[in-house]
């Protein structure tokens, strides 16, 4: 999954996926490309321990990393982590199976609303300490469900693969 980040002064293309090297250099699961300098780089400090499926950058420069990863930059982050420009951190208790069976715990997409609420989607049953069937929101302090979620409780075949937040804050 590729994302251009225009919230920073220099555009950077973050590349997440199932790889351990990028252009011959060890960059497990995530790297970045600087189109003006024509160079590749790594995330600041540390590595990611598993597949990265989505990244997003909010208006303050905070980077969110989602996927199968349980550790980013040496910090545990059950499916979702953040980089604030100086340190990696978690989003509350992350996402958990929450009664789903047969699902791979992960975050496939991250969308950020104009009010900076972060939306997460894919295979999880709880986010933080509450039920959030396949879709959740993070307000910077805690998780909350998005309506009734997607699918039925305990159904691992339901998932939110892609999210889009419109300029009015509507989720698609």
CB 70 within 8 A of CB 124: no
pLDDT for 118-136, tens place per residue?
999 877 767 776 777 788 8
Of 84, 32, 42, nearest in space to 60 by CA: 84
pLDDT for 52-107, tens place per residue?
888 888 888 888 988 888 888 888 878 888 888 788 888 887 777 665 555 567 88
- Residue 5's pLDDT is 44
Share of the chain above pLDDT 90, in %: 7
- Residue 164's pLDDT is 87
Taking 70 as the threshold, does the pLDDT of residue 153 lie above it? no
Taking 60 as the threshold, does the pLDDT of residue 22 lie above it? yes
Of 47, 32, 57, nearest in space to 88 by CA: 47
Of 120, 107, 106, 108, nearest in space to 165 by CA: 120
Instruction: Tell me the whole-structure pTM to 2 decimals.
Output: 0.83
């Amino acid at each position: 999954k590729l994302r251009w980040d225009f919230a920073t002064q220099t555009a950077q293309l973050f590349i997440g996926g199932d790889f351990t090297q990028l252009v011959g250099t060890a960059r497990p699961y995530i790297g970045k490309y600087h189109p003006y300098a024509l160079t590749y780089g790594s995330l600041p400090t540390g590595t990611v321990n598993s597949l990265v499926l989505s990244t997003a950058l909010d208006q303050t420069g905070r980077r969110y990393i989602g996927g199968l990863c349980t550790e980013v930059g040496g910090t545990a982050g059950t499916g979702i982590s953040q980089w604030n420009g100086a340190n990696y951190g978690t989003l509350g208790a992350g996402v958990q199976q929450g009664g789903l069976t047969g699902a791979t715990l992960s975050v496939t997409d991250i969308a950020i609303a104009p009010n900076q609420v972060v939306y997460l989607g894919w295979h999880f049953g709880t986010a933080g300490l509450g039920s959030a069937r396949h879709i959740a929101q993070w307000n910077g302090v805690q998780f909350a469900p998005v309506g009734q979620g997607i699918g039925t409780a305990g159904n691992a075949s339901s998932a939110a693969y892609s999210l889009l937040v419109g300029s009015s804050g509507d989720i698609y």
